[in-house]
Structure 1
């Protein structure tokens, strides 16, 4: 009798442990999975077309940085990504209240071979094209480029010389900047 009782107790323990507190359901329900990396290619497991690449473009809304994702059939180079940033939001992004603080700005990016720090040459803005908040404008560039897997930091140049720019807190620096330097300005996705 004690053998049957021991077997029943063991079976009950196994059933209770295997349940893990998740009740059985008759119908499927939606599950929110963790966000996959934005800078990788899509795969069959995500249900997206093979070869689709997510590109982060950091736009603005109410003087805040907002990371948006645009998908394309192929990866974009850093210069093309900055060109899209300067061009501004798509009509769908405009409908969400997004804009850019970089309109009419000329940017040229280089990434030296073997380096993960991009150098961005920035033109002198046209007169009358002043920015309300330069930290947001520089933050757009830094957050867009450092969302790439091949760029970890960004430094700025004007006429080939190091340029002092504001970080997210308004402190001026000539050091390479990362997205973490603008964390206080970035809205959650």
Structure 2
């Protein structure tokens, strides 16, 4: 008989322990809302970059290809700030991963505004001592970075208020709105 009482006591203690765990019960099922998106894409991150709450994709260059890189930032960036982050170039950790930028000396982007879903990038005349000839990669970096945003689908470049012909991946100049597809042959998966 003492073994039966011991089992009853153990069972009672287990039931009391489980029912008193502090998790409230509800009489009916309820809907649970998923967290707000967008959810991060599968692009490499820079482990040395400061951790933030929001993802920002910048397109840098490695081995004559455009490489999307995910950075964490403290707050969502507007298109103009996003462009400034790209123009600032790679972080030390990104440079250690052989990432670079074709922008210095090739494209002097002065700013961007977004109208509807189209980004309008103002480009200044490059300096005489620019010395870079990889404009295709430079313009591709800007197009791929800005169209990676949820609010931008196309990019046009302007100089002195007029559309500027910029090189696509196929080498042809275009004044029409550009998309990521215009630079697809140059985009690397990693």
TM-score, normalised with respect to structure 2: 0.70
Give the 3-state SS of the residue equivalent to 1:177 in structure 2.
coil
SS of structure 2 residue aligned to 1:187: coil
- SS at structure 2 position matched to 1:140: helix
Instruction: Find the aligned partners of 1:96 and 1:37 in 2 and give their Cα distance.
Output: 21
What does 1:23-172 correspond to in 2, within 5 Å? 36-38=39-41, 52-103=53-104, 105-112=108-115, 115-172=116-173
5+ residue gaps, structure 2, are 1-38, 43-50
3-state SS in 1 of match to 2:171: coil
Distance 1:117 1:65 in 2: 21
> Is the 1:82–1:107 Cα contact (8 Å) retained in structure 2?
no
Aligned residues between the structures: 142
Matched-pair contact (CA < 8 Å) for 2:113–2:119: yes
Q: TM-score, normalising length from structure 1? A: 0.71
Q: Which runs of 5+ in 1 are unaligned?
A: 1-35, 40-48
Give 1:72 shift: 1.1
* Deviation per residue, 1:19-66 (Å, 9 max, x gap): xxxxxxxxxxxxxxxxx4449xxxxxxxxx9x8211011111122101
Bigger radius of gyration, 1 or 2?
2
Contact 2:109–2:121 (8 Å) recurs in 1 = no
Offset of residue 103 of structure 1: 1.9
SS for the counterpart of 2:130 is coil
Q: 1:59 to 1:78 in 2, by over 3 A?
A: same
